[in-house]
């Protein structure tokens, strides 16, 4: 059974290692250290759902109703085009955005404190009210910061028809060739590949962010990802 597990792992790695929308998003957010664990979790869980669905035979539904894939294709192409625009925008903008969270978080706090009127100087009740407003605004800021990367990850994972074809149909089809019991071992190997790859690329980008976030390097990364996204968008529309 180990050979079946290894086969699933090898296929899973071969499908996700190539730079695609998920990996590109993980690189960008990893370099920015922008809630990368949220994106890693969404990408991994999405892959697990698709792999389990394909192994259970859901891929048959995708082949049976190709119209759904056609609609998804154009939605996915539109989002990839928008993602491409963001990459080229960051590559050619005059002022490169600050990528280090250590530089951006204090500014957010200062903005919140300034909104509340700075340090309290009135009676004790006024000080308590000010602290409550500050705490409430900080919580709202924290919620808003992870929501945007999370929504981007959900769109990348679920508006990509290639994911349905590769994972639901290909992995599911190959998994079911190993019989009732063997297919789940094959699926476990493919799931392990996703669980290993997504944290590796996301955390590696975060670890080396001090080098990768340099203006010249960051522009080059954005330009390279943008070119790849153009190719993926065209490939998607022509498929």
Predicted confidence (pLDDT) at residue 102 exceeds the cutoff of 50:
no
For 57, other C-beta atoms within 10 Å of its C-beta total: 14
What pLDDT is attached to residue 134? 61
Q: What is the pLDDT of residues 174-233, one digit of tens each?
A: 888 888 888 899 999 999 999 999 999 999 988 888 887 788 887 888 888 888 878 877
Using CA atoms, how far apart are residues 61 and 129, in angstroms rounded to an integer?
56
Using CA atoms, how far apart are residues 115 and 182, in angstroms rounded to an integer?
60
Q: What percent of the chain has pLDDT over 90?
A: 15
pTM, entire model:
0.67
Q: What is the pLDDT of residues 75-91, one digit of tens each?
A: 777 877 887 888 888 78
Q: What is the pLDDT of residues 136-188, one digit of tens each?
A: 655 554 555 788 889 888 988 888 777 777 777 778 878 888 888 888 999 99
For 214, other C-beta atoms within 10 Å of its C-beta total: 14
């Amino acid at each position: 059974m180990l050979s079946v597990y290894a086969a699933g792992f090898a296929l899973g790695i071969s499908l996700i290692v190539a730079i695609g929308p998920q990996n590109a998003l993980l690189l960008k957010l990893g370099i920015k250290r922008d809630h990368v664990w949220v994106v890693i979790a969404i990408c991994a869980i999405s892959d697990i759902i698709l792999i389990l669905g394909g192994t259970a035979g859901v891929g048959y539904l995708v082949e049976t109703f190709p119209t759904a894939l056609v609609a998804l294709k154009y939605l996915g192409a539109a989002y990839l085009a928008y993602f491409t625009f963001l990459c080229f925008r960051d590559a050619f903008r005059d002022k490169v955005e600050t990528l280090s969270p250590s530089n951006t978080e204090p500014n957010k706090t200062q903005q919140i404190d300034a909104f509340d009127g700075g340090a309290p100087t009135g009676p004790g009740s006024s000080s308590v009210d000010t602290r409550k407003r500050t705490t409430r605004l900080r919580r709202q800021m924290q919620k808003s910061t992870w929501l945007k990367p999370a929504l981007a990850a959900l769109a990348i994972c679920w508006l990509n028809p290639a994911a349905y074809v590769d994972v639901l149909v290909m992995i599911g089809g190959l998994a079911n060739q190993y019989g009732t019991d063997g297919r789940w071992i094959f699926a476990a190997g493919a799931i392990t590949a996703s669980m290993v790859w997504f944290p590796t690329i996301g955390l590696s980008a975060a670890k080396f962010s001090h080098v990768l976030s340099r203006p010249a390097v960051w522009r080059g990364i954005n330009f390279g990802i943008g070119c790849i996204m153009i190719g993926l968008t065209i490939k998607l529309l022509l498929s």
